[in-house]
Amino acid sequence: MDSRLLGAYGEQIAARHLRTSGYKIKSANYKTNVGEIDIIAKDNKELVFVEVKTRASCLYGQPKDAVDITKKKHIYSMF
């Protein structure tokens, strides 16, 4: 599967999961001049920024391992 299609598929699953968990999706693929946030959602009082990592296999590690401190700092710098 093409990596863009796989990523879009993962984002759809993540958004569905957030909705069924009570979150309201405020934006998807939100672009700034320094990057993109996959999903912005709100749960009552909290605004949540979601980075989705979809993998076809765990050969190169778990998706959570792809969001390291550098990636987190980059996301924080967008806002």
The reported pTM is 0.82
Block residue for tokens 């993998």: 55
Tens-digit pLDDT profile for the chain (79 aa)? Answer: 788 898 899 999 999 999 999 999 999 999 988 888 999 999 988 999 999 988 888 887 787 887 888 888 888 887 7
**Stretch (H or E) spanning 3:** helix 3-20
Strand partners, 37: 30
Which residue, among 58, 56, 50, has the nearest Cα to 75 in the 3D structure? 50
